Amino acid sequence: MDGTSKLLVASNRGPLTLSRGEDGREVVSRGGGGLVQGMSSAMASVDGVWVCSALNDYERLVSRRAPGGRLPRADADDGDLDVRMLPIDATTFARAYNGIANSTLWFVNHLLYDIPTKPVFDFGWRRQWRSYEDYNDAFAVALDEEAAEGATVVVQDYHLVLAPRLLRERRPDLRIGHFMHTPWAPPENYSMLPDDVARDVLAGILGADHAGFLCDRWAEAFLECCVTLLGATVDGRTVTYRGRCTEVGVHRLGTDGPALHERAHRGDVETQMGHLRELAGDRRIIARVDRTELSKNIVRGLMAYREVLRTYPEWHDRVMHVAYAYPSRHDLPEYREYTASVQRLAREIDDEFAEGDWKPVHLTVTDDFAGSLAAFRLAEVLVVNPIRDGMNLVAKEGPVLSEPGCALVLSREAGAADELGPDALVVNPYDVTQTATAIHAALSMPAGERAARSQRLARAATALPPAMWFEEQLTALRRP
Ligand code: G6P
C-alpha cells in the first residue's frame, strides 16, 4: 500500500538522539556527525519524512510504542519534518552497524585495515552480513510503507547501500537517490571484500537512479569498481547494469555560514572562550576538532606538533595546541584503544615540554560542542590531517569562525582539499615531518596573509550550504 509522503530521507542516525537521563527523564539531543549536521540543516524547511534507526534500548522502546513509529515533533525549527524511527532489534542492529558498516565498509573505504592480520571474512562475519541485509531490508519496507506514488527517496551513506535496490524491487515507481558521505576505495582495495559482497554493494547502490559523492575522486573510484568488479558499462558518468541506468553525480557539501555564526556566538561558547583564554594567556592557539576516529589521524597530528616543539624551540611557551576529540563508536575496541593512544601521546608531549604555567597540549576527549566552537573562534592555526575523509566539515567551519583568521594545515586526502587546497597548507597525512613543517609555516605566516587566506577559505566553505547541496541532488534526481 502506498504511503502519503512525497519526499523521504533515510539514514542510520536520525536528527534526534533520545536517552534516559540519570533522573529517569527523557533527554533529547541533536544527533552528531557530518551527515546529520548537513541533512538537518538541508531538511529544516522541507516537508517530508526522515526514516532512521533506533540506536539504543531507550529509542527502541520509544519507537515501538510511538504510533506508526513517528516521534513527536522536537521543535519548531524542524519545519514539517516527521521522523520515523525503526525499532530494529539490538542484535541485528549491532551486527549491521558495528560489524559491517563501521568495521567493514568504513574500514575498506578509508583504507584503515592493518592488512597483515585484518580483515578476516569468516563464519561470524557472514552472520553479520546477513544482519546487514536484514537491517537494509527493514528500511526498504518502511520506505515502501511511507512513500506516495512517484515519491522521491534519498538514501544516505554506507549503512544503507543495499536499500536502494531492495526498495526498487518493491517500488519501481519511485525516484531513488543514494548519497555516500565517505570516500570510495579504488578497485584494488575495494576488492578485498568477498566477491559476492563487493558485487552486492555496488548493485545495491545501482538500484538508485542517482548516486552522489562528495568529490570527483570518490565518484571516479566508484565508477572504476562498477566496471572492474561488476562488469557494468560506464559512459561518462552513466552506469548501465542489467538494463538500468544510474547517474553518478558529485555534490560538494559546505557549511551554513549564518547558522554556524549564530550558534558560535551564544553564551555557552563565550564561557568556553573565557576558559581557553585563561589557559592560553597570550599564547597562540593551534586547534583541531575531530570525532575520536581512526581515519582522522589524530596521533600523527600530535606527533607533528611534538616535532614542531623539538625542531623549532622558538615556539616554546608561545603556542598551545587545543585538541577536541569527542567520543565516537566506543563499542569498537579499535576506537577505545585509539582514544587511549591519543591521550597517552598528549601526556608524553606535556611531560617533555611543559614548563611553569605552560601546558603545551589541552586535550578534551568528552563531547564539548561549545568548547569546539570556542576553539575555532580563537584558532590561528587549524590542523585537519585525515588519512582519508569524504569531505571534512571542520576544515570548512574553522575558517568561517576564526577571529584572528586561521592558517589551515590540510591533508590532501580530504575531499575538502579540492575546494580549499589553493589557500591551505596541503600535506601528505603520513608525513609527520612535512606536517610539522607546515604547522611551523602556518605559525610564521604574516598576519595579513593569514587573514586574507582565511577569508578566501571561508568564502569557499560557505559557497554550497547544505540546503543547496540537497537541492542539487533533488534536481539531478528529477532529471528524466
Ligand atoms: C561520518 C559518516 C556519517 C556519520 C558520522 C558519525 O561522518 O559519514 O554517516 O553520521 O560519521 O558516525 P556515527 O557512527 O556516530 O553515526
CA–CA dist 368, 241 (Å, integer): 46
Write the residue with the smallest CA distance to atom 3 of ligand 1: 35
**What pLDDT sits at residue 249?**
97
Range of the domain at 100: 5-253+468-478
Residue 325, beta-bridge partner list:
290
Helix (H, G, I), strand (E, B) or coil at 23: coil
* Grid coordinates belonging to 387: 588519512
Write the residue with the smallest CA distance to atom 16 of ligand 1: 13
121 CB-contact burial (10 Å; exposed 0-12 / middle 13-18 / buried 19+): middle
Write the residue with the smallest CA distance to atom 11 of ligand 1: 33
Assess contact for 387 and 297: CB atoms under 8 A: yes
Mean pLDDT by 10 residues, the chain (480 residues): 87 92 86 78 82 96 92 60 94 98 98 97 98 98 97 97 98 98 98 98 98 98 98 98 97 95 97 98 98 97 98 98 95 96 98 97 96 98 98 97 98 98 98 99 98 98 94 88
Write the residue with the smallest CA distance to atom 14 of ligand 1: 329
CA–CA dist 51, 8 (Å, integer): 7
247 and 120 in a single domain? The answer is yes
- What region, left, alpha or beta, does residue 367 occupy, with left being phi > 0 and alpha being psi -120 to 50 degrees? beta
**What pLDDT sits at residue 71?**
85
**What pLDDT sits at residue 33?**
73
Tell which atom from ligand 1 comes closest to the C-alpha of 12.
Answer: 16
Tell which atom from ligand 1 comes closest to the C-alpha of 390.
Answer: 8
Assess contact for 202 and 193: CB atoms under 8 A: no
CA–CA dist 140, 163 (Å, integer): 6
Q: Could you tell me if the CB of 182 is within 6 A of ligand 1?
A: yes
356 CB-contact burial (10 Å; exposed 0-12 / middle 13-18 / buried 19+): exposed
Mutate to test the pocket of ligand 1, among 13, 16, 36 (most ligand atoms within 8 A of CB): 13
147 and 261 in a single domain? The answer is no
Give phi and psi for 252, each to the nearest 5: -80, 135
Query: How far away, in angstroms, is 65 Cα from ligand 1 center?
Result: 27
Assess contact for 161 and 178: CB atoms under 8 A: yes
Tell which atom from ligand 1 comes closest to the C-alpha of 13.
Answer: 16
Query: How far away, in angstroms, is 161 Cα from ligand 1 center?
Result: 14
Predicted structure pTM score: 0.96
Can you list the pairs that 263-268 forms with residues at least 24 positions away whose Cβ atoms lie under 8 Å?
Answer: 263/373, 264/373, 264/376, 264/377, 264/401, 266/370, 268/370
47 and 98 in a single domain? The answer is yes
Assess contact for 342 and 293: CB atoms under 8 A: no
274 and 158 in a single domain? The answer is no
57 and 156 in a single domain? The answer is yes
**What pLDDT sits at residue 80?**
66
236 and 87 in a single domain? The answer is yes
| Tally of structural domains, the chain | 2
**CA–centroid distance for 383 within its chain:** 17
Could you tell me the CATH number of the domain that includes residue 14? 3.40.50.2000
Tell which atom from ligand 1 comes closest to the C-alpha of 157.
Answer: 9
334 and 386 in a single domain? The answer is yes
Query: How far away, in angstroms, is 438 Cα from ligand 1 center?
Result: 28
**Which helix (H) or strand (E) element contains residue 463?**
none
271 and 209 in a single domain? The answer is no
**What pLDDT sits at residue 76?**
40
**What pLDDT sits at residue 381?**
99
396 and 382 in a single domain? The answer is yes
Distances 115 to 100, 260, 338, 340, 376 between C-alpha atoms, Å: 17, 40, 17, 22, 36
280 and 316 in a single domain? The answer is yes
Among candidates 42, 423, 427, 466, which has minimal Cα distance to 252?
466
274 and 343 in a single domain? The answer is yes
Mutate to test the pocket of ligand 1, among 35, 112, 392 (most ligand atoms within 8 A of CB): 35
18 and 145 in a single domain? The answer is yes
Tell which atom from ligand 1 comes closest to the C-alpha of 102.
Answer: 14
Query: How far away, in angstroms, is 310 Cα from ligand 1 center?
Result: 35
Asked if the bond preceding 422 is cis, omega within 30° of 0, the reply is: no
Count other Cβ atoms within 10 Å, centred on residue 373.
24
